[in-house]
């Protein structure tokens, strides 16, 4: 699939690191470093603008290495870039660690996954079919 992209960052385009990779790394496009104190969040711009085909979204997800090693994650993960959005892709990073973290220009801050999606149409009814789970919520399917 070909996706139109404008790159104003000066960094390389996102790309798949391996043959089986689902995501492509997004890089920070910032004029100066941004330091996130513990529990602080910020929108980090990427310098990327994309035009997705209808029926697709771009999901902005955390990088596992940053999350595991530094406690840095994407706050609204996965963030969704809709097919009709034409603005710059931004990443809402949050620092969940006990130490300050500094984001540098060009740093890999998140990953982008292109995914197909469906559009639902609601069918309002008076009752739903029964299942063995029923209305059991959080933790209701686990064993003791």
The pLDDT tens digits of the residues spanning 38-83 come to 999 999 999 999 999 999 999 999 999 999 999 999 999 999 999 9
Torsion sign (Cα): 132, 137, 140, 141: positive
Say if 29 falls within a structural domain.
yes
Say if 109 falls within a structural domain.
yes
Say if 142 falls within a structural domain.
no
Say if 59 falls within a structural domain.
yes
Say if 77 falls within a structural domain.
yes
Position 134 pLDDT exceeds 90: no
- Report the pLDDT value the prediction gives residue 144, as an integer from 0 to 100: 55
Say if 54 falls within a structural domain.
yes
Whole-number percent of the chain with pLDDT over 70: 97
- Report the pLDDT value the prediction gives residue 143, as an integer from 0 to 100: 60
Are 109 and 42 within 8 A, CB to CB?
no
Closest CA to 91 of 125, 124, 48: 48
Contacts of 115 (CB under 8 A, 6+ apart): 56, 57, 58, 59
Say if 8 falls within a structural domain.
yes
Q: Is 112 exposed, middle or buried (0-12, 13-18, 19+ CB in 10 A)?
A: buried
Are 107 and 26 within 8 A, CB to CB?
no
Position 119 pLDDT exceeds 80: yes
- The residue range of the domain holding 88 is 4-12+23-116
| Other Cβ atoms closer than 10 A to 42 | 17
Copy the structure tokens of residue 42: 């910020």
Whole-number percent of the chain with pLDDT over 90: 90
Say if 125 falls within a structural domain.
no
Domain CATH for 46: 2.70.40.10
Which H or E element spans position 68?
helix 64-70
Q: How many domains does the chain have?
A: 1
């Amino acid at each position: 699939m070909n996706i139109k992209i404008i790159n104003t960052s000066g960094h390389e385009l996102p790309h798949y690191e391996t043959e089986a990779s689902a995501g492509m790394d997004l890089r920070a496009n910032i004029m100066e470093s941004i330091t996130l104190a513990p529990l602080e969040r910020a929108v980090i711009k990427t310098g990327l603008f994309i035009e997705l085909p209808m029926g697709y979204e771009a999901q902005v997800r955390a990088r596992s290495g940053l999350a595991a090693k530094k406690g840095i994650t994407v706050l609204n993960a996965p963030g969704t870039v809709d097919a009709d959005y034409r603005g710059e892709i931004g990443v809402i990073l949050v620092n969940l660690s006990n130490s300050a973290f500094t984001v540098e220009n060009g740093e890999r801050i998140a990953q982008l996954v292109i995914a197909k999606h469906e559009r639902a149409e609601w069918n309002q009814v008076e009752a739903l079919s029964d299942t063995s789970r029923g209305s059991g919520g959080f933790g209701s399917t686990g064993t003791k």
